[in-house]
Structure 1
Amino acid sequence: MTGWSRRRLLGAALAVATAPLAVPPLVSKARAAGEWPFRRGINAWPWFALTREFPAPRTDYDWPPFQTQRPVPTPADLARLRASGLDFIRLPVDPGPFLAADAGRRADLMAMLSAAVESALAADLGVIVNVQANGATHYWNPERMVSSTGAPEFARYRAFVADVAGMLKDMAPGRVALEPVNEPPQDCSSEVWPKVQAALLSAARGAAKD
């Protein structure tokens, strides 16, 4: 992704600003009485992606875990996205660096994620935080995390979903949402998938009931 400047990222964002990103309805007590507010949005990738994982057999990441040359929107960039007519961003988050980090660095990463959400809200943008495992990573990938409730790292993934939900629960009710998995790594007709969904939903609701 070298060569991707903030200007190029913003240009790409504005180029698709006229194409709405469809968001499925989310039922919650907070929005039951009103219309879901997210209408026109864009993915804010790779803000929390493009990682620097070490090769196998290691399962950890360099620090900082995200590539320094990746495009990261500034407050001015976010304000311009809002001015273009967009009302939310979808923020994909690779869970690998969070799960591989020790307690101190994980707290630092959670603070970075919280600050990113706050900066989008300050620009009058809603935020969908999307936990999106990287299929190209040799260890922290969808197969190891969300292929089933018995996957080797599912318990830690589920705990991370709960942590993110807890972080978001007091931020701008009705303007922040959590998407606990990007897409199923197994067929949607699989009997495994509903169990994964139910486990992740219960984890999220356990930390943030609405």
Structure 2
Amino acid sequence: MVLSFCRLGRHFVHRPTTKDAKELNLPLLRIALCISCIFAGSAAASATAFTMKRGLNLEMWTTWPKPERWDEDAVLDNFPEWRHGTGPGNLERIRTAGFDFVRMPVDPAIFLEDASEKRVTTLIVQTLRTVGMLHKAGLKVIVDFHSIPSDSRKIDTNRILADDALFTRYVQMVGRLGRALSDTDPGLTAFEPFNEPVIDCDPTLAPRWPAMLKQLHSAARDAAPSHTLILSGGCWSSAYGLEKVDPSTIADDNVIWTFHSYEPYVLTHQGADWTGDSMSYVEALPYPPDLLGEKAFEERLAAIRKTIEVKAPRERREEMLIGFNEMAGGVSTYGEVLAALNEPFDKAATWGKTHNIPPERILLGEFGMIRREYQKKFRMPSEWRASYLKDVTEAAHKRGFPWAVWSWGGAFGITLDDKQRVLDPVILKGLGLK
């Protein structure tokens, strides 16, 4: 799930038998076989075991208990967490709505933090069981080893990327989970070994992610030789990060490359307290911004600036105002918004053409607009969100990219009620689904 980086995007054949051979002219046969090999190789260059079009991210944990409860049967038997209270009917409705695949976040912290062999074995069993449930519902699955940045966890994205020993353990766990997934159908299951690496956003520093990506790819590929792997660039899996990756260093045609986009960030992350910036004071900005008239939008921006001046911590007010003004600048009209929204798509498309990666192998792995921040009153109208999602999916379709919206439930959820799991019909229409 994207956090506070997002604003960088704007400033960022028949095989003959022996008997057949005796009956055929051998020189001609050799030529025919050579031609056959050429065409077979060409097809393999653009084909992956796993294909998809329209997907849904299953949400992250929101009430996951603290580590002291991670070995309780009641916790482990409902892994991943969203399975609690979820039945086959809920999953089948995802497929009926028109989604053909889901991206399933799996928390690596619980595999790594003081984890016993019993716990790891149970988690793998439950992950495979969940994949089976989704397959039974008619859905393909990307198993997404999905770490997050956190101030309170011992194991989080920042620590994994900064600690060589911990990263080595993480890579080993990627191999172990990959070996388990290798028993699943490669046409129905893909594996994403890392979510949103929070490095390589500073263009003045030497990139670290490409070397780490090669280690992750090697571990995952050795473990699951037939399965499609989902790989990204650095800097929060952004299109900017994807530009910094040379796919020839991976040299694997059974890879789908992914990028995430939530542009314009000031509109998609309204009220998000966990970003650590001024977004916690932002609400009620419509989409498109001139929906209620340009004057009304500017008045709302002024009101938000006033709120920051009054409510933000005194020592951070100036910083937050500068950050907010940077994010809000240049998105006051629909045309400006569409330009910002399309920029990462253009980057990804250009990167694909440069490296001969066909568009069906470039996945928009996350996008969305916040519904309501936890514990806050303001709820983004479904019509605003649907308009945004329509523009994003049209940008993806225009370039031939498959996509996966964030997310089923939670702050960015596309349901009316997370307990009943009823999909919002207005949102589905915006996504071009039933």
Q: What residue number does 1:97 align with?
A: 110
Q: What residue number does 1:84 align with?
A: 97
Relative to structure 1, the CA distance from residue 107 to residue 77 in structure 2 (aligned partners, 3 Å threshold; closer, same or farther) is same
> Between Structure 1 and Structure 2, which shows a larger proportion of helix residues?
2
Question: Distance in 1 between the 2:45 and 2:128 partners?
Answer: 22
Relative to structure 1, the CA distance from residue 182 to residue 49 in structure 2 (aligned partners, 3 Å threshold; closer, same or farther) is farther
Q: What residue number does 1:207 align with?
A: 223
Q: What residue number does 2:128 align with?
A: 114
Q: CA deviation at 1:135?
A: 1.4
Q: What residue number does 1:143 align with?
A: 158
Give 5+ residue unaligned stretches, structure 1. Answer: 1-28
Structure 2 residue aligned with 1:166, among 174, 179, 183? 179
Q: CA deviation at 1:71?
A: 3.9
Relative to structure 1, the CA distance from residue 35 to residue 142 in structure 2 (aligned partners, 3 Å threshold; closer, same or farther) is closer
Spell out the pairing of 1:1-210 with structure 2 (5 A cutoff). Answer: 32-33=46-47, 37-46=51-60, 50-54=63-67, 61=70, 63=72, 64=75, 71-72=82-83, 73-100=86-113, 101-136=115-150, 137-147=152-162, 151-187=164-200, 190-210=206-226
Q: What residue number does 1:9 align with?
A: none
User: What amino acid sits opposite 2:166 in the alignment?
Assistant: E
Q: CA deviation at 1:106?
A: 1.1
RMSD between superposed Cα atoms in Å: 2.8
Give the TM-score normalised by the residue count of structure 1: 0.72
Question: Distance in 2 between the 1:126 and 1:31 partners?
Answer: 22
Q: Which structure: larger Rg?
A: 2
Q: CA deviation at 1:32?
A: 4.7
Relative to structure 1, the CA distance from residue 61 to residue 131 in structure 2 (aligned partners, 3 Å threshold; closer, same or farther) is same
Contact 1:129–1:179, Cα closer than 8 Å, also in 2: yes
Give the TM-score normalised by the residue count of structure 2: 0.37
Q: What residue number does 2:424 align with?
A: none
Question: Distance in 1 between the 2:124 and 2:45 partners?
Answer: 26
Identity %: 32
Relative to structure 1, the CA distance from residue 79 to residue 111 in structure 2 (aligned partners, 3 Å threshold; closer, same or farther) is same
Question: Distance in 2 between the 1:37 and 1:166 partners?
Answer: 21
Relative to structure 1, the CA distance from residue 122 to residue 31 in structure 2 (aligned partners, 3 Å threshold; closer, same or farther) is farther
Question: Distance in 2 between the 1:153 and 1:35 partners?
Answer: 31
Give 5+ residue unaligned stretches, structure 2. Answer: 1-42, 227-434
Contact 1:51–1:67, Cα closer than 8 Å, also in 2: no
